[in-house]
Amino acid sequence: MDMEVTAWTSLHSAMNAQQDRRPFSRATLRRIAAFARPHRRRLGQFLLLSVVMALLAVATPVLAGRVVDAIVRGDDAGTVTRLALLIALIAVAEAALGLLTRWLSATLGEGLILDLRTAVFDHVQRMPVAFFTRTRTGALVSRLNNDVIGAQRAFSNTLSGVAANLVTLLLTLGVMLTISWQITLLALVLLPVFVVPARRMGSRMAGLQREAARHNAAMGTQMTERFSAPGATLVKLFGRPADESAEFAARARKVRDIGVRTAMAQSAFITALTLVSALALALVYGLGGFYALRGSLEPGAVVSLALLLTRLYAPLTALAGARVEVMSALVSFERVFEILDLEPLIAEKPDARRVPDGPVSVEFDGVRFAYPSADKVSLASLEDVATLDTRGGTEVLHDVSFRAEPGQMVALVGSSGAGKSTMAQLLPRLYDADAGSVRLGGVDVRDLTAESLRDTLGMVTQDGHLFHDTVRANLLLARPEATEDEIWAALRRARLEGLVASLPDGLDTVVGERGYRLSGGERQRLTIARLLLARQRVVILDEATAHLDSTSEAAVQEALGEALEGRTAVVIAHRLSTVRAADLILVVEDGRVVERGTHAALLAARGRYEELYRTQFQRAETEQVAETETPR
């Protein structure tokens, strides 16, 4: 290892020294050991090879010195040849062991990353919807990327580095002291000149890195927001492109300026430390040469000392920052464990059963519910706030009871924020009721398996969310084993067969992020086709046509007619046609069912429903008729 590489190692350790040094607990170490246990055999091999590599690294300078001594003494050529061959064999062994060590390091590190990422991903999937409504997606993704990689570094880099550096340091010092303790001690005197600037420059470099990270994050946030389909549309409608460009350029210039300052600081630092290293070598050659000329030191010993010196500073500086590197890696582990320690609010019972076969009834019995507070579902670090919002726990549903018989449609109507969508979210266990019971087929949903709930109950929301994938992939999400004929049959019933057939790649056409390459009505019909393909026995419609024009709504309503046929349905009503078709209408206000009955009976009662009919449904119907009759 040359002096420039040694200088880079010193700078890296010094920069790490500026990172988080929070204390860690033994519980954290035990949990890390649990993740490492499946890899313990490979970890042991990795550490052993690292030690062997350190031994070989010290052997070469010693043998080089003996070659010089053999030449000076005038030994036969065979001696020099044998020593040279031994040096060559050690070089070959180092190369082979280096490749093997790198393979072990890669497989160990990537295996740990796989385990951690899988554990976090599986755990996050079990979290309630409230977790995702509060969490910044970027912060969560960072835990799966940056922090997991930081945790992995504890095994593949830091742990092996400590072992190899410690062995290298002890062997190098031992050999150097054996050769000449005077020169060794004088060489060590220069160590503070080497390490102190590294510490000071490391602090400056760490500050520059943090500043660059902030500006990069701000630049990345601007790009993420502006490059999404809704963000780009908003900028085109209301934004000022010149101002947007100027703002982005200003941030990019700051990143550029910091990059230049960082590069110059690194160059100055490396140049200075390389100079110090050269002075140390000059000391060894000068003092060693003086002793050699006096006959108190062999010439080969001078060469060995010089070569060993190049292998002394790197492990010394690395070990000086080893504790900080370990602490940084442990902090990454703790940030990953923070996610794993969030308890999912929805858990499947060990003895959970499947939804009974046949037609399924829906029943709410004395249901009370309050949205969970932030401390139960989120972390301040994931929300990018200092402290979590303390609000929550206020009851939003009060003693709600009703029953939909198999095949019936129940319509929920009421003011915005009355609790209709909350009631719909309790059926598929996006949340659990705090009191009372929500039943499917007479069985409390908390006693059912998650798989049977997914197989039984389908939901269409007003945003019609689709993944950035093909039409086929978005449909097969509902039933992966569906055949080509079944897919086309679902599209036909959803009134989408012609559209999909006309797309450039048919079923393999990518719909874009959130399905933005399709119109609102087409997105909704595609989600309905997904529902039809799933063949679920209970359907929830959460204002599925709320934001559509009359033409799109007509097509979606036709598709909904297919989706609701023969199924038990809970519909959050937005249009009068939906209300009239319902077997039972529930008027929900302030989390309570204040009226219930058929359309005619509720109109005759002249209560809240009749008021809603006059102010909302009838007006919507009049507007729809007027739009239909308007000449085009």
pLDDT digits (tens, 9 = 90+) for 450-502: 888 888 888 887 777 788 888 899 888 888 888 999 899 888 888 888 888 98
Domains and CATH numbers, the chain: 3-340 (1.20.1560.10), 362-378+390-464+538-629 (3.40.50.300)
Question: Which pLDDT does position 596 carry in this prediction?
Answer: 93
pLDDT value of position 632: 43
Q: How far apart are CA 72 and CA 65, in angstroms?
A: 11
DSSP character at residue 594: E
Window from 170-179, 191-200, 377-386, 483-492 with minimum mean pLDDT: 191-200
Name the least confident of 277-281, 384-388, 485-489.
Answer: 384-388
Distances (CA, A) of 115 to 47, 127, 156, 325, 432: 21, 19, 14, 22, 30
Between β-strands 584-589 and 592-597, what pairing exists: parallel, antiparallel or unpaired? Answer: antiparallel
Per-residue pLDDT at 96: 92
Average model confidence (pLDDT) across the chain: 78
According to DSSP, the β-strands at 395-404 and 443-444 are unpaired
Please report, for the chain, how many H helices and E strands are present, in that order: 28, 10
Task: Tell me the C-alpha to C-alpha distance, in Å, between residue 180 and each of 306, 498, 553, 613.
Answer: 12, 88, 91, 100
Residue 365 confidence (pLDDT) above 90: yes
Phi and psi at residue 247, to the nearest 5°: -65, -45
Residues 475, 482: Cα–Cα separation, whole Å: 9
Distance CA(306)–CA(62), nearest Å, equals 10
Name the range with the highest mean pLDDT among 17-26, 88-97, 314-323: 88-97
* Residue scoring higher pLDDT (60 or 268): 60
Least confident of 44-48, 105-109, 200-204, 589-593: 200-204
Which of 216-225, 437-446, 534-543, 615-624: highest mean pLDDT?
437-446
In the prediction, which pLDDT does 247 show?
A: 82
Return phi, psi of residue 595, to 5°: -150, 155
Residue 407, SS3 per DSSP: coil
Between residues 555 and 336, which one has the greater pLDDT? 336
- What confidence category does residue 276 fall into, taking pLDDT thresholds of 50, 70 and 90? confident
**Which residue in the block uniquely carries the two structure tokens 């309790």?**
426
What's the confidence (pLDDT) of residue 591? Answer: 92
Residue 447: predicted pLDDT: 93
pLDDT of residue 9: 53
238 — pLDDT class (breaks 50, 70, 90): low
- In this predicted structure, the answer to whether residue 7 has a pLDDT above a threshold of 80 is no
Task: Report pLDDT for 17.
Answer: 47
pLDDT surpassing 80 at residue 280: no
Cα-based angle 623, 626, 630 (whole degrees, multiple of 5):
140
Greater pLDDT, 75 or 191: 75
| Angstrom distance (rounded) from CA 127 to CA 330 | 25
Mean pLDDT is highest, among 388-397, 531-540, 622-631, for 531-540
- Yes or no: say if 298 and 69 are a contact pair by the CB < 8 Å rule: yes
Please identify which residue in the block is written with the tokens 């949990």. 31
- Structure pTM? 0.67
Instruction: Give the pLDDT band (50/70/90) at residue 199.
Output: low
Give the percent of the chain with pLDDT over 90.
Answer: 11
Please report how many Cα atoms fall inside a 13 Å half-sphere around the Cα of residue 52, on the Cβ side: 16
Distance between CA atoms of residues 134 and 130, nearest Å: 6
* Highest averaged pLDDT of the listed ranges 41-50, 211-220, 500-509: 500-509
CB-based contacts of 218, cutoff 8 Å, min separation 6: 251
Q: Which of 377, 555, 371, 570 is nearest to 461 (CA)?
A: 570
CB 468 within 8 A of CB 514: yes
Q: What span, in angstroms and rounded, lies between the C-alpha atoms of 457 and 447?
A: 15
Give one word for 506, left, alpha or beta, with left for phi > 0 and alpha for psi -120 to 50.
left
Q: What is the pLDDT of residue 324?
A: 59
pLDDT in tens, 290-341: 888 888 888 888 888 888 877 777 677 667 656 656 766 777 787 888 888 8
Contacts of 550 (CB under 8 A, 6+ apart): 624, 627, 628
Q: How many C-beta atoms lie closer than 10 Å to residue 595's C-beta? A: 19
Phi and psi (nearest 5°) for 608? -65, -35
Conformational region of residue 411, where left means phi above 0, alpha means psi within -120 to 50, and beta covers everything else: beta
The 3-state DSSP class for residue 55 equals helix
